[in-house]
Amino acid sequence: MTTLAKKRLAIWIVFGAILIGGGVFLVSLLLPTSITSFASPSGAKVKFQTSGDRIMEYEGEDSWKEIFVKGVNLGATVPGHFPGEFPLTEDDYLRWFKQMDDMGVNVFRIYTVHNPVFYKALVDYNRDKGDDPLYFIQGIWSPEEQLIELKDAYNEEIKNKFHSEIEKAVKAVYGDLKIDVQSGESGGKYTANAGQYLMAWHIGTEWDPEMVDNTNKVHAGTEPYQGKHFAATEAASPFESWLAELIDQTAELERGYGWEHPMTFTNWVTTDVLEHPGEPLFEEDLASVDATHIKPTDWNAGYFAAYHIYPYYPDFFHLDKTLETIPDGKGDYNTYKAYLQKLKTHYKDIPIMVTEYGVPSSLGISHLGKGGRDQGGHSEEEQAEINVSLTQDIYDEGYAGAILFMWQDEWFKKTWNTMRFEIPEDRRSYWLNVLTNEKLFGVLSMSPGKEDALKIDGNLGDWDLLPEGEVQSWDTPSSGIERLRVAHDEAYVYIGLNLSEDFDPNEREIYLGTDILPGGDQPKKELPGVTLSDGLENMIVIGKDEDTQVKAAPSYDFHRRLYGEYGYWMLQEQTKEEKIEFQPWKLAVSLLMTPPDTRLPGPFQDMIVGQLQRGTSDRSAAEFNSLTSWQYSGNEIELRIPWMLLGFADPSSLQVIDYGPLKKNRTFTPTTTQGITFVPWIVERNNEASWPGGGATVDIGNLPKYTWSPWETVKYSEHLKESYYVLKNFFENLPERSSE
């Protein structure tokens, strides 16, 4: 070889070394740092495993430590979308992962397979976190609707669909999946391997008790399932045996990727292993699903029980006297803690984790709980206090973890006592109904579009800063009112009033009647001697704190129409006064229960939700209250009124509930409105009243009518609620349990 050739060869060798070295360096930057794991006898890697009733994390050098799972559930959507649309971006995930981490969460749970961007974002987020990553629990969604409809878990179509979902989930987690995107389902090319950041598998959804009961009857005598990794015991029911097969399949698929993670399936109080003598509904005690009837046979990572447990559902939490054993220190009983004790006694040999719990920060309420732990009716501050107390109860009773419901507010959700009024139902995600508590469980607020722009504090200066066209204004709509301004967003109708003199609720009350449809009622008591050209549907009363509220016209009252003599016949007959007086806006919280249709009798119960709380919605203020509806200062009054309190079924498409009789299955009919006409008047405490025009008749066609265009996209902003910061402090000071 010539000297020149040798030099060229040396140059190429050096250049090649540089390229190889650079490539190795780039790969090292792109690949996540491998976490410390234990090599099981099977050769699979194990990071978490169960031991007795504890969950253990491997630290290296044959050392394991007990952990208490501090978690939160993560949904798959944002306002303006439904879950099957999977609109979340990589930026969304990365931002939320950081916030969860800062909160002290060590694990979060997802319910189903997300799009590939989720797994990529999690791998990217954990890339530089070494042995302190943010872990996740992968849920596997069941064919819930088919299970409820067919009531037979062994149906071939259901089994095939569930098994297919399991395969999809395992492959997605390990970045080994390419699947076409279908409407309502995640899909795409999954290449990011997030397996080392998995904490556990969480299989299925809350089981319908009638389905479980029927499955057990139809398949009585089924031999207990015996699988390679998991098996059903001799005591297992056919449904539990069916579950054992699903868990075993998940384990077998994961073993193929060289990993083992703890297994569990979803359960809830409705299908728990306990009896509830104080529960009035048969179906709440109809069937049991027992995690101890499934055992690992060759699975080093182990297995645990998981329950969704809330302090207000089922009703026995506030009705069952056998749970009134632990005083809460506030004059009531902590039935939640008592229930946790009973359930833990049954699961003394395996870990048990509460994978859903919490209360929402909503104006609306739908179930009652002991000690004020109701499903709704809480400010963000109250939500924080209750969520911490529930977490403490779970921790104190020796559970392996607590996964809070929920990370973000979810506008698409529904609940039993408002869903009949939210129509069309396929537009629920386009507006925020604060009367539907299910929408507001998050520690991350998905706030409506004007929350930051219009702060309810009694100062109307921020109204002047709104863009042109977003406010409608009327001068001197009534004697004593110099100016009326109205705006709206996805959750509220905003009202600003400038009065002729300072407002003194001890001297006068202000009324704002609202007309959205032809028909309605005359305010005979509230404005005697005056006839309006058209009736009102609702009325806003502004006065002393205890009197300020939205009232419903007697003929338009949703509550009376649904539960009175033309609906369920659960309300007493109206008095003569109630037939002409505008009524407090109410929601049902418990329906009439009568044997033999129920095991025990129970009264119809309802609560006033039209009361307007005075305060400030300014999050930077020390006195901030998320339930604030109004405030005044000097001659200025500011309000925000939830859409439904004004009769709206869907403001995004201008739909209101009409006056027609209830249809089949006691459903309402929506109709399109042309806007909201405001009828303002002032009543002095000496009974003198002033109203538009001052005559005996008022043509409301000449009064302020607020109009807007339908919307197909939403504006929202994210805010960390008080729950976030209070739980962050709690998690930081919660000691990890020490292994014995």
Region 246-272 average pLDDT = 98
pLDDT at 313: 97
Q: Which residue has the higher pLDDT, 418 or 22?
A: 418
Token pair 């609906």 is at which residue?
567
Distance CA(71)–CA(356), nearest Å, equals: 10
Res 693: pLDDT:
75
Does residue 493 surpass a pLDDT of 50?
yes
Show the tokens assigned to 332.
């009531």
| pLDDT digits 0-9 by tens, 182-202 | 888 999 999 999 999 999 999
- Return the number of other C-beta atoms located less than 10 Å from residue 175's C-beta: 18
pLDDT in tens, 644-662: 999 999 999 999 999 999 9
Parallel/antiparallel/unpaired status of strands 198-203 and 135-140? parallel
pLDDT for res 23? 46
Q: Please, what is the average pLDDT of the chain?
A: 94
Q: State yes or no: cis peptide before 116, omega within 30 of 0.
A: no
Determine the average pLDDT of the residues in 702-712.
Answer: 97
pLDDT, tens only, 316-347? 999 999 999 999 999 999 999 999 999 999 99
Q: According to the model, what pLDDT value does residue 8 have?
A: 58
DSSP assignment of 96-165 equals HHHHHHHHT-SEEEESS---HHHHHHHHHHHTT-TT-PPEEEEEE---HHHHHHH--TT-HHHHHHHHHH
pLDDT of residue 736: 79
Above 50 in pLDDT, residue 508? yes
Residue 9 pLDDT? 54
> Which pLDDT does position 30 carry in this prediction?
46
Q: Which two tokens stand for residue 431?
A: 């507006």
Report the pLDDT averaged over residues 44-69. Answer: 96
pLDDT at 7: 54
Instruction: Examine the pLDDT at 6 and tell me if it is beyond 90.
Output: no
Averaged pLDDT for residues 127-146: 95
The rounded radius of gyration (Å) of the Cα atoms in the chain is: 30
Q: What is the pLDDT of residue 739?
A: 44
Cα distance between the two ends of the chain: 71
pLDDT digits (tens, 9 = 90+) for 668-688: 999 999 999 999 999 998 777
Residue 31 is predicted with a pLDDT of 53
Cα separation, 234 vs 738, whole angstroms: 35
* pLDDT digits 0-9 by tens, 417-469: 999 999 999 999 999 999 999 999 999 999 999 999 999 999 999 999 999 99
Q: What single string gives the DSSP state of each residue in 633-684?
A: ETTEEEEEEEGGGGTEEEGGGTEEE-SSPPBTTTB--EEE---EEEEEEEEE
Q: Which residue ranges form the domains of the chain, and what is each CATH number?
A: 68-446+718-733 (3.20.20.80), 461-713 (no CATH)
pLDDT of 2 reads 54
What percentage of the chain has pLDDT greater than the value 70?
A: 95
For 596, the token pair is: 């033999």
* Cα→Cα distances 630→13, 46, 496, 620, Å: 77, 55, 10, 17
Average pLDDT over residues 8-24: 50
pLDDT of 12 higher than 80: no
Beta carbons within 8 Å of 494's beta carbon, 6+ residues apart = 450, 454, 486, 487, 488, 638, 639, 640
Residue, of 620 and 12, whose pLDDT is higher: 620
Q: What is the DSSP string of 230-258?
A: EEE-TT--HHHHHHHHHHHHHHHHHHTTT
Specify the pLDDT at position 572: 93
